Structure 1
Amino acid sequence: MERRILGLLAGLALATGAAAADSYTLDPSHTYPSWEVWHLGISKFRGKFTKSEGKVTLDPANNTGHILVTIDPASVASGHEKLDQHLKTEDFFHVERYPEIRFESTALRFTSGVLTGVDGNLTMLGVTRPVTLKVQSFRCTEHFRLKKEVCGAEATTTIKRSDFGMTYALPLVGDEVTLNIEVEGFKD
């Protein structure tokens, strides 16, 4: 009898934990993965990717979740058309051979129920490396028009592009690249 009660309680705990997780689909029109890198050691050069998609599952009560984001590197936009074309070549993103940049979380960190950090793997140019994102802001609210929960976050990390095999123009164009990720996602 005791075993059945413990089994029932364990099943209830699992069901309650599963019900506490919420899933979100990133809104591509309000999600902006961007980057900045030093140029000639005197100024920062910035750009962004205009096409990305992703799914986020959050369970702050249990300090768990999962994030999967894919970026189309062919959507790179620096504000300079000629440079954008060069960034798509084998010197940089080699979009014909590697049509996707992918980030998948391995662990989420919460402080008082608020997402504050994400560990995961970034895959670019066929190379996968661990990265840690610092979540600088995370907020949820009801969308004023759609009457649906929407969450937004800003996260940052710094990578070395050479770790992914992107070595063109080193050291004239810096090796360290700061990634800034602005996202919004609607609850499914």
Structure 2
Amino acid sequence: MEYAIDPEHTYASFEIDHLGFSTQRGQFNRSSGSLEFDPEARSGKVDIRIDVASLDTGLAARDEVLRGADWFNAGDFPDLLFRSQRFVFEQDKLVAVEGTLVMLGVLKPLRLEISRFKCGLNLASRKRVCGADAQGSLRRSDFGLSNGLPFVGDEVRLRIQVEAYLP
């Protein structure tokens, strides 16, 4: 079954070290995509598009800099894309999704660990839904995003909370 990512309940957020003093956080407020899941075959597929222009760190001036050519370059690379290649199960429990992240035109493997995954009937909307909490780590320099190193950390912790509904 193919589910559509619900942009009102799906967020990608990140954490990064700032000068060794603190952890800075931000999120992307717009995303879209699809999820296919077959529990009996223990397989699935997920495609998520994250709108770089929706970056939000809580400080508008910083957001403009991060969207600019020296950082995420939203003008030339408007999307971050995650495409799964394999769902990883332990018995009947989904524990990870392995795939590819595309950022700044660079493709790199990314494994997202799944801390929560559930499909069922949303009693409020009366629609079938699958939801997940996923997290992974990447080195931003692997994607050519090395501005500010070593003062701004290289390791980025990416979290994606997603809900997807049957049409």
Q: TM-score, normalised by structure 2?
A: 0.96
What do the CA deviations read for 1:27-77 (whole angstroms, capped 9, x no partner)? Answer: 100001000000001210000000100100011211211111101101000
Pairing 1:94–2:83 present = no
1:168-187 Cα distance to aligned partner (Å, 9 max, x none):
11111100000011001112
Unpaired runs of 5+ residues, structure 1, are 1-21
Cα distance between partner residues in 2 of 1:65 and 1:140: 13
Partner residue, 2:124: 145
Whether 1:177 and 2:153 are equivalent positions in the alignment is no
Q: Which segment drifts farther, 142-151 or 168-177? A: 142-151
Residue in 2 that maps onto 1:109: 88
Amino acid at match of 2:102: T
1:25 and 1:112 map into 2 onto residues whose CA distance is 26
Structure showing the higher strand proportion among its residues: 2
Counterpart of 2:138, as a letter, is I
Q: CA deviation at 1:110?
A: 2.0
Alignment pair present for 1:157 and 2:136: yes
1:78-136: per-residue Cα shift (whole Å, max 9, x none)? Answer: 00000000011111100011011111011111233332110000000000000111001
Given that 1:60 and 1:110 are in contact with CA atoms closer than 8 Å, whether structure 2 keeps it comes out as no
* TM-score normalised by L of structure 1: 0.86
Q: How many residues end up aligned between the 2 structures?
A: 167
Identity %: 40
* SS of residue in 2 equivalent to 1:62: coil
Q: In 1, Cα distance between the equivalents of 2:46 and 2:138?
A: 19
- Distance in 1 separating the partners of 2:140 and 2:146: 7
Alignment match, 1:80: 59
Letter of the 1:68 counterpart: D
The one-letter amino acid paired with 1:186 is Y
Structure 2: runs of 5+ lacking an equivalent: none
Q: Take 1:112 and 1:139, find their aligned partners in 2: how far apart are those partners?
A: 15
Say if 1:34 and 1:47, in contact at 8 Å, map to a contact too: yes
d(CA) in 1 for partners of 2:128, 2:41: 20
Larger radius of gyration: 1
Q: Secondary structure at the match of 2:150?
A: coil
Distance 1:74 1:151 in 2: 26
Distance in 2 (CA, whole Å) between partners of 1:155 and 1:170 is 26
| 1:38 maps to 2:11 | no
Of 109-118 and 44-53, the range deviating more from structure 2: 109-118
Give 2:162's aligned amino acid. V
What is the Cα deviation at residue 152 of structure 1? 1.1
